[in-house]
Amino acid sequence: MQLIFAVHCHQPFGQLETVLDQAVQRAYLPFLSVLERHPEVAVNVHYSGPLLEQLDDRNPRLLEALAGFGRQIEWMGGAMYEPILPAIHPRDRIEHLKRMRATINERFAQDPVTAWIPERVWEPSLVDSLVEAGYTAVPLDDVHFERAGLEHLDRPYLVHHLDQLITAYPISVDLRYAAPREDPVVLIESLRHLHEHDPTAIAVLADDGEKYGLWPGTHSQVYGTDGWLDRFFAAAEAADWVELTTFEQHLSDHPASERTSLPPGSYQEMTEWSDGRWEHFLDRYPEADALYRKMLNASNRAAESKAPAAALTEVLRGQGNDAYWHGAFGGLYLPHLRAETHRRLLAARMAVDEAGRSGRSWVKVHRFDWDADGRDEIHVELPDQSWVLDLDDGAFAYFDDKPSQWMVPDVVAAHVEDYHTDETPSRVHRWLATRTLPIASTPGSLEAIGPDVVTAGPFEVDEVDAGRGSVTLTSTSHGGRVRRVLHAENRTFEISYEIDDLPDCRFGPEFPVGVWRGASSLRVDGGPWQAVDMPLALTGHRFRFRHEGRRKEILIALRQPGELYVLPLTTPNRNESGREEIQQGILLWPHWVRPTGGTHRLTVEVLDVADEPAPAEAEVDSQ
């Protein structure tokens, strides 16, 4: 029988440099050292585009070592920047797939015909894209084949869609779980029954390269004295009834002859995490859906414009899957991954802006169903800012400060996850969501979900002035009538509330700001800076919030006397080392107490830290 050993190595854009360096030192380089000691062993290897590009800067020595193995390493191609292929436009799928082939050809002098499918998320139409990009084989988990009703998982199959064919190899889930837990000699011996039943059988052991050294406890197990990987290769070489081969070699020697079709799906764990389909993550996490819609919009704009090729590259980089979903570890809950994805998509849109417009005085206002929910949103684009206004609650789906390439309210709520015990889900906080709270409320009340916490909305659109970048809305669903006017200009926008008959309450808009723990401070009316590490209730007119990491500030100025509630936003998360608490950001809630009527105004501005306040900052506008 034959055995294919394959590893998939990936680190997303935005990954912490310490994690990337650990992956190199504890997994990638030691793997090659073992492989060098077994020159007769050939393996399949896949390195994602983000990992390759980061290694160019962080560890080019590893890339040189990889190139030195020649045909002992048979490279797999795939999607350049690891998107979920069924979730992006077919034109982008093909671009990813072709770029990966070209990259492997340029770097390692091979033209791969086997494609690694990101997260093994499959749908039948991928056959067409793969064939068009020049691929002839893919490895997919054996559960894909079981769902198709196939009983024999020890052979490849011809998978068809329309008039196209590609060869698909079943990845053994049993082998995937056994390595590197089970003794290598026992693992190899467990394959004997396949050989005895059919000497032409093929078994595929393919999984993340990080499990061989980076996962907790695996480095000493895999590479220590009597290390697992050395013994695995030795056991395979010693078993004269086992032949280690590669996808391309096997495809040449034993072409598939049985035809089938495979239903949509992914590997077993992904199917469980996503309740059946990867797209369900977008329904479960509104923050992921907003990021996804932003990506689709950037892709369409790049395709329709005369933007330079760099714009398309940033779109493709922004399609990497890691920040869009959550499984066993991290993903959507990791702020550094989300921030980098937003930055890439924003860079692409800015390149499109520059190619299609001149000067700095333009405003684009477009009303359409931005998030495909059956209801219109309002998309406002200026040279220095961009946002989408959701009319259901009058909040922003996102707010981008273009000069800093920063999605300012980049926070995620604590959603219900299988590893939670006594935690309850938290509220989804969005930029400009207008809240009312009882007079006796505290900053912690901003996380409460109940009848005493009311969101002002839905809103009716009274007027959209595209020339001035202003939108006028009216809502009557919170016990009174509120007319709200938004006006955007440069890096500032003004909010004006005309209030009629509002019951006694605290009333104002939320401003969540994505910032990590220990990186924020605040001052009121020109007073001293204070750390923001606990809930605060402050009184004043001008509140200046500083993001020390980005060297940016958010200035909130109230025209009428008011208060500011400050609340750190955290989520529980699970990683390879256990549970941890992640700070997603800080919620700023400027508001007025008992604003029963009249007009109330505030302005919000994004500033560079170098923009120091004027000496009269503490003075209050008398209007």
Neighbouring residues of 361: CB distance < 8 A, sequence distance ≥ 6: 383
Provide the pLDDT for residue 422.
61
Q: Mark whether 175 and 81 lie in a shared domain.
A: yes
The reply to whether 208 belongs to the active site is yes
The parent domain of residue 94 ranges over: 2-272
Beta-carbon count within 10 A of 48 CB: 23
Q: Rounded to 5 degrees, what angle do the CA atoms 140, 49, 108 make?
A: 90
Provide the pLDDT for residue 615.
35
Is residue 619 included in any domain, yes or no? no
Provide the pLDDT for residue 623.
29
Q: Mark whether 328 and 415 lie in a shared domain.
A: no
Q: Mark whether 147 and 209 lie in a shared domain.
A: yes
Entry pTM: 0.94
The reply to whether 283 belongs to the active site is no
User: How far apart, in Å, are the Cα atoms of 88 and each of 93, 340, 374, 533?
Assistant: 7, 18, 20, 39
Catalytic residue among 82, 92, 95, 119: 119
Residue-wise over 467-503: b if at least 16 C-beta within 10 A, else e?
Answer: eebbbbbebbebebebbbbbbbbebbbbbbbbbeebe
Per cent of the chain over pLDDT 90 is 82
User: Residue 563 carries which side chain, given as an amino acid letter?
Assistant: E
Beta-carbon count within 10 A of 413 CB: 19
Q: Mark whether 545 and 505 lie in a shared domain.
A: yes
Q: Mark whether 483 and 566 lie in a shared domain.
A: yes
Is residue 621 included in any domain, yes or no? no
Q: Which two tokens stand for residue 584?
A: 């997603």
- Could you read off the pLDDT of 422-459 as tens digits, one per residue? 666 788 999 999 888 999 999 999 987 654 445 566 78
| Strand (E) or helix (H) holding 215 | none
Neighbouring residues of 486: CB distance < 8 A, sequence distance ≥ 6: 389, 432, 470, 471, 472, 473, 493, 494, 495
Distance, in Å, from the CA atom of 91 to the CA atom of 102, rounded to the nearest integer, reads: 17
Q: Mark whether 85 and 45 lie in a shared domain.
A: yes
The single residue listed with the structure tokens 């994690």 is 19
Residue where one domain finishes, among candidates 303, 328, 356: 356
Catalytic residue among 123, 174, 183, 208: 208
Q: Mark whether 569 and 424 lie in a shared domain.
A: yes
Is residue 370 included in any domain, yes or no? no
* 30 and 223 Cβ atoms separated by less than 8 Å: yes
- Could you read off the pLDDT of 152-181 as tens digits, one per residue? 999 999 999 999 999 999 999 999 999 999
Beta-carbon count within 10 A of 575 CB: 14
* 602 and 495 Cβ atoms separated by less than 8 Å: yes
Q: Which two tokens stand for residue 527?
A: 């007073």
Distance, in Å, from the CA atom of 64 to the CA atom of 44, rounded to the nearest integer, reads: 17
Residue where one domain finishes, among candidates 218, 248, 272: 272
Provide the pLDDT for residue 152.
94
Residue where one domain finishes, among candidates 272, 305, 323: 272
Is residue 591 included in any domain, yes or no? yes
Is residue 248 included in any domain, yes or no? yes
Provide the pLDDT for residue 621.
33
Q: SS3 string of 362-385?
A: CCEEEEECCCCCCCCEEEEECCCE
Q: Mark whether 348 and 456 lie in a shared domain.
A: no
* 512 and 428 Cβ atoms separated by less than 8 Å: no
| DSSP-assigned states of every residue in 5-62 | EEEEE---TT--HHHHHHHIIIIIHHHHHHHHT-TT--EEEEE-HHHHHHHHHH-HHH
Provide the pLDDT for residue 592.
95
Is residue 614 included in any domain, yes or no? no
* 478 and 456 Cβ atoms separated by less than 8 Å: yes
* 59 and 95 Cβ atoms separated by less than 8 Å: no
Q: Mark whether 499 and 551 lie in a shared domain.
A: yes
Q: Which two tokens stand for residue 82?
A: 């690891």
Q: Mark whether 343 and 390 lie in a shared domain.
A: no
Q: Mark whether 453 and 597 lie in a shared domain.
A: yes
Provide the pLDDT for residue 478.
57
Question: Please, what is the end-to-end C-alpha distance for the chain in angstroms?
Answer: 85
Q: Mark whether 299 and 385 lie in a shared domain.
A: no
The single residue listed with the structure tokens 């395709």 is 303
Instruction: Name the domain count of the chain.
Output: 3
| R_g over Cα of the chain | 27
Provide the pLDDT for residue 554.
97
Is residue 618 included in any domain, yes or no? no
Helix locations, 504-590, DSSP H: none
Q: Which two tokens stand for residue 271?
A: 């199917």
Extract the residue ranges of the chain whose pLDDT is less than 50: 451-453, 613-623
Neighbouring residues of 418: CB distance < 8 A, sequence distance ≥ 6: none
Is residue 367 included in any domain, yes or no? no
CATH of residue 395 = 2.70.98.10
Provide the pLDDT for residue 183.
97
Distance, in Å, from the CA atom of 317 to the CA atom of 81, rounded to the nearest integer, reads: 6
